[in-house]
DNA sequence: ATGAAAGCGCTAACAT
DNA sequence: ATGTTAGCGCTTTCAT
């Protein structure tokens, strides 16, 4: 009957205190205790007694037993490929708040860009009966989300679906944000605008590039092939992108870097080459992080609505959880906003400095 | 008997398939199925049958029921204050691997530097019966870990304990790493070495400063008060630190930045002021991240043994979980190593450039 | 408002 | 190797 679960360092033994123990000690029925524990009404006198006993015995309801009955875990899971960069940090921070508001906990699962990992995580989370899954997907044709879908767990996909169907998806409208920020450059008088592209094949990189391409087209300015620099959303390509650009016979007067990591790299290169911003080069970047404000000049940037994104994700999960499938499966696109700072100026007529370090 | 758990979008209903269903369908006993599911031996013929039935019915063991029996969740939790920086990313990546090796899953809980959050997370994890908790603590006198300790959940504290007792603790030997890296500077001929300090009151910042102070003392070089710059482990203080330093009448010839965030800031300032590294200023930093290698010159840095740290943490948890309390509660200090790159040179006799931007 | 008792799905001890 | 069965701790009818 008594279950010794743990040999404490000191040598004393501990046993789990169950709802039965509390009932016995309080001289009440198990069901009464249960009711009280779930916020039900009990006689004030009994409430006192129970409270005292629970406290004294240090009783905590067993989560497994509880889950076994009502199959809820009060947990929302986030499936993310990695934890790099402020982007993840900001997302998690917002999500944390939202999830707390739902009375749930957040279970962050980092699948390390591995298909194997994400598959086993989905199975794990399904077995755990999490209340919902928010996923930043990996590129694969496998439908790794199937177990969760079958178990009826609400799923929200962020950004790229890579072909996965039958899930709600949430995106940031990168195309229009890129359009706007490049348009800002144009309105300042820039024509020679370079762009460092994102990873080939990703929806976000395509959209961000498209935004650029479309303004140029709409304003009727030609796009120079050499100003379209390949990138892969990583530091190094930002660094090298600027290096390449500065070796060009005709240099651009403005640069649009399409994500945060690359903009760090680009800045390092810019400083290294002693390029003066915005005199010689105006710079705008996608993603607005701490760095944007600590760097001089501060960066004009696209600020992604990560808070709204997470809010909407939780809202959707709650809705689906409650059996409301209005608009399922749906796609929502949230607008980003541009934060104007000091890294954009008018182009100078002759700004080429030949003696750049 | 039949339990409708979820109203699927389509309108079809789903019911949970249990081990009993599998048994019935396979015409075998539940215990045989259970055995099979847990990797036990069954007759080859039956193995085939079970496999087929499990597949066909889409059976997945109920995690709650399982946990209710053996009170294990096969989950290791990481309690971390935030997700900022590559440090967290690297830690999580290593931990992920280790945890997988133990046949467990990693539950990352980000408590957002909030005492309230960490407290409720500990309770949550305790109720969830996680197999172990690894925690990067928050500064408080409250013993928020008590619920977990009482439940007998193995706990490993990383770095600073802020006074919490009765837990195993794992630290990186910052003092000796700092000593070594500053010693390297000295051996290259530097005497005027500045340091940007970490957050007041943290063990790590104290140790990193101490390492510096001790070499200087051991070599008999005086420490100039103006070369001790206050910092708070954040970007901005790195940036401003360099700015202050360069306004000094007598500038240092070498700089030791005591963490990653500050070194990003410092680099930005260095580039901004067109300070040539290592000709005018040799730079060494604590924490070795991607940036260290993409920046030119590449940075000489202290590389923290995050992999070993996580490995040791898991090892300890497994040990404690199995009732082995040898050396409990213990403290282990792992050695960091120095990665020598190109940011350190000999000091120049007269390198002050008065026209710095 | 309270109590008695049936099971949630699973594992493990025991019997065959 | 397989089958039978007693609970794990809890919630939830259904009586009282």
User: In sequence order, what are the residues at sequence separation of 6 or more whose Cβ sits closer than 8 angstroms to the Cβ of residue B204?
Assistant: B159, B160, B172, B174, B198
Q: What is the rounded CA–CA span in Å between residue B339 and residue B288?
A: 8
**B272 within some domain:** yes
Q: What is the DSSP string of B286-350?
A: ES--HHHHHSSSPPEEEE--HHHHHHHHHHHHHHHHTT--TT-S-EEEEPPEEE--SS--PPPSS
Q: Which of B5, B6, B15 to mutate to test the interface with A (most CBs of A within 10 A)?
A: B6
B29 nearest nucleotide via C1' and CA: D3
When pLDDT is cut at 50, 70 and 90, the band that residue B297 belongs to is confident
CB pairs under 8 A between A and B: 162
**A104 within some domain:** yes
User: How many CA atoms lie less than 13 Å away from B209 in the CB half-sphere?
Assistant: 20
- Looking at strand D, which nucleotides approach a protein CB closer than 7 A? 1-5, 7-13
Mean pLDDT of chain B, nearest integer: 88
Strands (E), A111-233: 132-135, 155-158, 168-172, 193-196, 228-229
Q: Is the CB of B152 less than 8 angstroms away from the CB of A235? A: no
Can you give the pLDDT at residue B87? 86
Per residue in A259-295, pLDDT (tens digit) is 988 998 898 899 889 899 999 999 999 999 877 877 7
Residues of B in contact with A325 (CB under 8 A): 7, 9
A29-CA/D12-C1' distance, Å: 13
* End-to-end alpha carbon distance in chain B: 79
Q: Is the CB of A329 less than 8 angstroms away from the CB of B9? A: yes
Positions of chain A with pLDDT under 50: 1-14, 351-357
Q: What is the rounded CA–CA span in Å between residue B146 and residue A27?
A: 28
Q: What is the DSSP string of B77-98?
A: EEEES---HHHHHHHHHHHHHH
- Show residues, CB within 7 A, near nucleic chain C: A 27-32, 35, 41-43, 45-46, 65, 68-69; B 1, 3, 16, 18-20, 30-31, 34, 37-38, 59-62, 65-66, 68-70
A149-CA/D9-C1' distance, Å: 29
- Regarding whether A238 and A191 lie in a shared domain, the answer is yes
Can you give the pLDDT at residue A254? 98
- Regarding whether A209 and A352 lie in a shared domain, the answer is yes
Asked if A20 contacts A32 with a C-beta cutoff of 8 angstroms, the reply is: no
User: In sequence order, what are the residues at sequence separation of 6 or more whose Cβ sits closer than 8 angstroms to the Cβ of residue B2?
Assistant: B15
Q: What is the rounded CA–CA span in Å between residue B346 and residue B336?
A: 24
B52-61, long-range: CB < 8 A, 24+ apart: B53/B22, B53/B25, B53/B26, B54/B22, B56/B25, B57/B17, B57/B21, B57/B22, B57/B25, B58/A150, B58/B17, B59/B17, B59/B18, B59/B19, B59/B21, B59/B22, B60/A123, B60/A126, B60/A127, B60/A147, B60/A151, B61/A127, B61/B19, B61/B37
Distance from CA of A214 to the nearest CA of B (A): 33
- Regarding whether B345 and B219 lie in a shared domain, the answer is yes
Q: Is the CB of B108 less than 8 angstroms away from the CB of A107? A: yes
Nearest to A98 by CA among B76, B112, B124, B137: B112
Nearest to A266 by CA among B322, B295, B96: B295
Of all residues in chain B, the one with the smallest CA distance to A113 is B93
When pLDDT is cut at 50, 70 and 90, the band that residue B303 belongs to is very high
Per residue in B130-164, pLDDT (tens digit) is 989 999 999 999 999 998 988 889 999 999 999 99
Chosen domain end from B37, B61, B85: B61
Asked if A112 contacts B93 with a C-beta cutoff of 8 angstroms, the reply is: yes
Task: Count other Cβ atoms within 10 Å, centred on residue B315.
Answer: 14
A37-CA/D16-C1' distance, Å: 22
**A66 within some domain:** no
Q: What is the rounded CA–CA span in Å between residue B119 and residue B142?
A: 9
B34-CA/C12-C1' distance, Å: 10
Say which CATH number the domain at A204 has.
Answer: 3.40.50.2300
CA distances (Å), A177 to each of A3, A69, B254, in order? Answer: 61, 47, 43
Q: What is the rounded CA–CA span in Å between residue A72 and residue A92?
A: 22
- Could you tell me how many residues make up chain A? 357
Return the H-helix or E-strand segment holding B237: helix B235-247
B98-CA/C6-C1' distance, Å: 43
**A316 within some domain:** yes
Q: Is the CB of B128 less than 8 angstroms away from the CB of A84? A: no
When pLDDT is cut at 50, 70 and 90, the band that residue B353 belongs to is very low
Of all residues in chain B, the one with the smallest CA distance to A295 is B268
Query: Percentage of residues in chain B with pLDDT exceeding 90?
Result: 54
Q: Which domain holds residue A158?
A: 71-173+306-335
Per residue in B79-108, pLDDT (tens digit) is 999 887 778 888 998 998 898 887 788 889
User: In sequence order, what are the residues at sequence separation of 6 or more whose Cβ sits closer than 8 angstroms to the Cβ of residue A123?
Assistant: A147, B60
Of A9, A62, A127, the CB nearest to B328: A9
Say which CATH number the domain at B6 has.
Answer: 1.10.260.40
A23 nearest nucleotide via C1' and CA: C3
Q: Which of A6, A8, A83, A120 to mutate to test the interface with B (most CBs of B within 10 A)?
A: A83
Give the range among A177-191, B245-259, B289-303 with minimum mean pLDDT. Answer: B289-303
Q: Is the CB of A64 less than 8 angstroms away from the CB of B60? A: no
- Regarding whether A350 and A325 lie in a shared domain, the answer is no
- Looking at strand C, which nucleotides approach a protein CB closer than 7 A? 1-14
More confident call, B324 vs A308: A308
**Domain count for chain A:** 3
Tokens coding B147: 């619920």
Q: What is the mean pLDDT of residues B344-354?
A: 68
When pLDDT is cut at 50, 70 and 90, the band that residue B64 belongs to is confident
**B287 within some domain:** yes
Strands B228-229 and B254-257: unpaired
Q: What is the mean pLDDT of residues B263-285?
A: 92
Query: Percentage of residues in chain B with pLDDT exceeding 70?
Result: 93
**B28 within some domain:** yes
* End-to-end alpha carbon distance in chain A: 80
Q: What is the rounded CA–CA span in Å between residue B44 and residue B26?
A: 13
- Regarding whether A24 and A135 lie in a shared domain, the answer is no
- Regarding whether B180 and B168 lie in a shared domain, the answer is no
Q: Is the CB of A107 less than 8 angstroms away from the CB of B110? A: no
> pLDDT at residue B294 above 90?
no
Q: What is the CA radius of gyration of chain B?
A: 27
Q: What is the DSSP string of B103-117?
A: T-EEEEEE-TT-HHH
Can you give the pLDDT at residue B349? 62
B126-CA/D6-C1' distance, Å: 27
- Regarding whether B153 and B198 lie in a shared domain, the answer is no
B30 nearest nucleotide via C1' and CA: D3
Going A321 to A324 to A327 to A329, the CA torsion angle's sign is positive
Of A5, A110, A235, the CB nearest to B291: A235
Strands (E), A204-287: 228-229, 254-257, 282-286
Task: Count other Cβ atoms within 10 Å, centred on residue B329.
Answer: 16
Can you give the pLDDT at residue A256? 98
A40 nearest nucleotide via C1' and CA: C1
> pLDDT at residue B15 above 80?
no
Residue A211, judged by CB atoms within 10 A of its CB (0-12, 13-18, 19+), counts as: buried
- Regarding whether A346 and A198 lie in a shared domain, the answer is yes
- Regarding whether A312 and A163 lie in a shared domain, the answer is yes
Q: What is the rounded CA–CA span in Å between residue A229 and residue A208?
A: 13
**B14 within some domain:** yes
Nearest residue, CA→C1' of D11: A69
> pLDDT at residue B340 above 70?
yes
Give the range among A278-287, B111-120, B174-183 with minimum mean pLDDT. Answer: B111-120
Can you give the pLDDT at residue A346? 95
**A28 within some domain:** yes
- Regarding whether A310 and A297 lie in a shared domain, the answer is no
Q: Is the CB of A152 less than 8 angstroms away from the CB of B8? A: yes
- Regarding whether A313 and A212 lie in a shared domain, the answer is no
Residues A213, A216, A218, A219, Cα dihedral to 10° = 180
Strands B4-7 and B13-15: antiparallel
Tokens coding A286: 């996608």
Widest Cα–Cα separation across chain B: 90
Residues of B in contact with A59 (CB under 8 A): none
- Regarding whether B296 and B194 lie in a shared domain, the answer is yes
Of B6, B67, B294, the CB nearest to A265: B294
Q: What is the DSSP string of B173-235?
A: -HHHHHHHHHHHHHHTT---EEEE---TT-HHHHHHHHHHHHHHHHHTPPPPGGGEE---SSH
- Show residues, CB within 7 A, near nucleic chain D: A 1, 3, 16, 18-20, 30-31, 34-35, 37-38, 59-62, 65-66, 68-70; B 27-32, 35, 41-43, 45-46, 65, 68-69
Of B9, B85, B236, the CB nearest to A325: B9
């Amino acid at each position: 009957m008594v279950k010794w679960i743990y040999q404490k360092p000191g040598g004393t033994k501990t046993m789990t205190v169950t709802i039965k123990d509390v009932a016995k000690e309080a001289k009440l029925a198990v069901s009464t205790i249960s009711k009280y524990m779930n916020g039900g009404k009990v006689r004030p006198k009994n409430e006192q007694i129970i409270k005292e006993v629970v406290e004294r015995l240090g009783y905590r309801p067993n989560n497994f037993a509880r889950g076994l009955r009502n199959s809820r875990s009060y947990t929302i899971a986030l499936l993310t490929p990695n934890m790099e960069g402020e982007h993840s940090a900001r997302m998690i921070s917002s999500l944390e708040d939202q999830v707390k508001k739902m009375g749930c906990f957040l279970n962050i699962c980092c699948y390390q860009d591995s298909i194997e990992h994400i598959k086993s995580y989905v199975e794990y989370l399904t077995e755990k009966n999490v209340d919902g899954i928010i996923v930043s997907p990996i590129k694969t044709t496998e439908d790794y989300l199937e177990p969760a879908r079958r178990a009826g767990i609400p799923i929200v996909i962020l950004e790229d679906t890579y072909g996965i169907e039958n899930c709600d998806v949430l995106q940031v409208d990168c195309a229009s944000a890129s359009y706007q920020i490049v348009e800002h450059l144009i309105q300042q008088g820039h024509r020679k605008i370079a762009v460092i592209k994102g990873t080939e094949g990703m929806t976000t990189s395509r959209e961000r590039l498209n935004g650029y391409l479309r303004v140029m087209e709409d304003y009727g300015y030609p796009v120079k092939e050499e100003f379209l620099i390949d990138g892969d959303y990583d530091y190094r390509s930002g660094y090298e992108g600027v290096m390449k650009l500065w070796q060009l016979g005709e240099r651009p007067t403005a640069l649009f870097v399409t994500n945060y990591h690359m903009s760090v790299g680009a800045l390092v290169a810019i400083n290294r080459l002693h390029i003066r911003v915005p005199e010689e080069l105006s710079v705008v970047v996608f993603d607005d992080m701490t760095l944007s404000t600590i760097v001089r000049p501060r960066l004009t940037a696209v600020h992604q609505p990560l808070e709204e994104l997470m809010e909407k994700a939780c809202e959707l999960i709650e809705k689906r959880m409650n059996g409301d499938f209005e608009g399922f499966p749906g796609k929502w696109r949230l607008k980003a906003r541009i934060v104007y700072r000091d890294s954009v100026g008018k182009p100078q007529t002759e700004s080429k400095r030949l003696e750049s370090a």
